[in-house]
Amino acid sequence: MILSNITTPLMGLVDTAVLGHMQGAHFLAGASVAAIIISQLYWLCGFLRMTTTGLSAQAKGSEDKEQLNQSLFQGLVIGFTLGCILLIAQDGILALGLYFADATPIIEGVISEYFSTRIWGAPAAIVNLALIGWLIGQQKAKQVLIIQVLANLLNLVLNLWLVLGLGLEVFGVALASVLAEYFIAIVSLVAALHIIGKPIILKKWFSVGFIRPLLSLNGHTFLRNLILQACIAFLIFKGVGFGSTAAAINAILMQFFTLIALGLDGVAYAAEALVGEQKGKKDIKGIVQVTLHGLVWSTLVAVIYAMVFVVSGGDIIVLITNQADLQLAMNDYLIFVYCLPLIAHWCFFFDGVFVGLTRAKAMANSMLLCGLVIYFPALWILSAYENLGLWGAMMLFLLARGISLGGYFIYLYRTEKVAV
């Protein structure tokens, strides 16, 4: 799971690198803002992956074949429906994004071109959340890794052909990502059906009685994701107001953030599957053992990340962009790159634990508390530092989330509610 998650941001890293070598920072700035809008939409729908993973893992632990099928096909239907809704609402979403971005006309043009192309991958991308989540719940890490690697290779080849070969620039970068998303959907569906064997689909699964508990679980997870994405979106859009250089810097930093998040989430995803399996068995001791072992591995991975960035952070920046002014400006932000994995791994890991426990309400409450009490007050206090202040507030926010989730897990264990 660590390997498969590390490969996931490579798709965005390739896109950023291609855009970073075009003439002018506005290409990278505009496309990065559009990509953030797309990512916000997909991450908001990330509740589908989380709930599907937890339910799939618990079905594996309880060896309930009907629940196994139900968790997959309910996820597919909900995912496809959400993707189509995003397609229908794309004009309004773009207009809203441009309003909040408050960008220059040249950057707005790039944002519109990238978004209007990339959004057509929404049905596949949202369905992928359910499919990958279901496979993670079944502990099929090898299949997920192979799919991600093949998709990244496809995206790389398409970028080289469409952008460098055909000269399609921003449109080519976006189109390559769309095609890769549909590739993931097709291959993941084949893998899931192979595991299930003869599929079982019951009409009652889509009735109000069966959907209501799932929607309640998804609703809390959606609220959690909404608050998180609001915090990230505020950082990105506020950064655009500081100019093209700040927006481009934030695009580079978000690539580091995504690389760190998805790498550390490799441990968290494993925790989701294993904790969910132990909850399906109602094994409190098993839940605690998996959590402690996972926390050790999460810490180790975070330390390795930090060491790699201390040694090679500057070289990674050079790979992303060849613009000297951006490379120089990034020197002031390297401290965030170094510290981010050490601070953030706590909340990433405990997110995975709570997904496995299907305790979405606790995750939402933690996110709301840390956003209102820590993040936005810190933004006001650090406002004099402009873009640097934005990232300082983000660090405090991530740290607070890890502390709150870890503390609540201890409370659940001591009150013997962890397997309920």
Q: Which two tokens stand for residue 43?
A: 């991450």
Write phi, then psi, for 347 (nearest 5 degrees). -70, -35
Q: CA 404, CA 399: separation in Å to the nearest integer?
A: 9
- Return the SS3 of 420: coil
In DSSP notation, 186-229 reads: HHHHHHHHHHH-S----GGGGSHHHHHHHHHHHHHHHHHHHHHH
Which residues make Cβ contacts (< 8 Å) with residue 79, sequence separation at least 6? 45, 48, 123, 126, 127, 128, 129, 130, 131
Instruction: Specify whether the CB–CB gap between 83 and 124 falls below 8 A.
Output: yes
Q: What is the pLDDT of residue 10?
A: 65
Q: Which two tokens stand for residue 410?
A: 């201890």
pLDDT of res. 6: 64
What the block records as the tokens of 16 is 């950023």
Amino acid (one-letter) located at 366: S
Distance separating alpha carbons of residues 88 and 93, to the nearest angstrom: 10
Q: Supply angle C-alpha 116, 323, 264, rounded to 5.
A: 65
Contact 219, 359 (CB under 8 A): no
Name the 3-class secondary structure at 138.
coil
Name, in order, each residue with C-beta under 8 angstroms of 229's C-beta and a sequence gap of 6 or more: 40, 43, 44
Residues 298-326 have pLDDT tens digits of: 999 999 999 998 888 778 887 777 777 78
User: pLDDT tens digits for 211-268?
Assistant: 777 777 778 888 887 888 788 888 888 887 777 778 888 888 887 887 787 778 788 8
Residue 330: CB atoms within 10 A of its CB come to 22
For every residue of 166-180, DSSP letters joined together read T--HHHHHHHHHHHH
Write the CB contacts of 66 (distance below 8 Å, at least 6 apart in sequence).
Answer: 200, 202
The secondary structure element, H or E, covering residue 165 is: none
Give the chain's residues under pLDDT 50. Answer: none
| Structure tokens that stand for 362 in this block | 């606790």
33-49 pLDDT, tens digit each: 777 788 778 877 878 88
Where helices occur in 281-333 by DSSP H, the ranges are: 284-320, 324-329
